[in-house]
A = this chain, B = another copy of it.
């Protein structure tokens, strides 16, 4: 068995990306297929196996799989609405049979934390939390070098801590005021829509129909005042929340990952200023905000592969 390479697989509703990753975090082979072209998971796995075998990588230390509705405890995909494969799919067993090696199923926020620890911007940290800003807000907690998963696998759901418990925005979870309704790609767009009547007629955002979060962040980088107000508000809510959340695990750092966070150091700096304003006195100056060093497009593959090395070592 090849001890130095793991296979990272990221199954999405639209595409499935996969890569052969060295234990130093180098992707030495990368592939991608449209998930919907494969009516059964067996056919998808066969295709991945074929591509990898042809490229000359016959076996692995292990396989890390990220998938929607994946249950890390059972290794099954369970009733995923965004996949063609219905019911319960024993995805780990299927990969293990075909590749003749062990595999694990991984929550993407946790994979981001392990990826950051092994290959990213947290190699020197034993206590940190990754904050993944995407459609929602995910987090992965590392304490004393161990990933915290919780009794039922729901540790690190920082996106569903309510920061406006009284009258906050309605969340997809059915509750109000959850952090991710303010701080996420979706949250940024909601702020824009809530404030749209106050948008000055000379704002760059007037020229964009239904801007997404990245468009809003782009206008901020061009020094647009209205976009800056939205970005400042987002950084404020995140910074003061992370100040409070420091009272949970007292980490050395929060590592920000995902589109809007990685739009540049400027956002990280704003979050840091708000954190310092809001944190309890004994922790002032002691909790860092770092930018992820994993590139967005390959982060899931790197995180899945990293978790494979992490768990099986």
Contacts and interface: CB of A to CB of B under 8 A. Distances in A.
Interface of A: 126-127, 141, 143-144, 146, 148-166, 173-175, 240, 244-252, 278, 280-283, 286
A169 B50 CA distance: 63
Contacts of A283: 152, 154
Contact of A157 (B126, B144, B280): B280
A244 B158 CA distance: 9
Given A143-B148, A160-B244, A160-B280, 5 more contacts: A126-B151, A155-B248, A156-B247, A165-B244, A175-B278
10 contacts: A126-B151, A143-B143, A148-B249, A149-B250, A150-B250, A154-B283, A155-B248, A161-B244, A163-B165, A175-B280
A69 B308 CA distance: 43
Nearest to A126: B151
Is the contact region of chain A dominated by helix, strand, or loop, or is it mixed?
loop
A287 to B, nearest CB: 8
Interface centre among A127, A151, A251, A278 (most CB of B within 10 A): A151
Nearest to A174: B281
A151 B244 contact: no
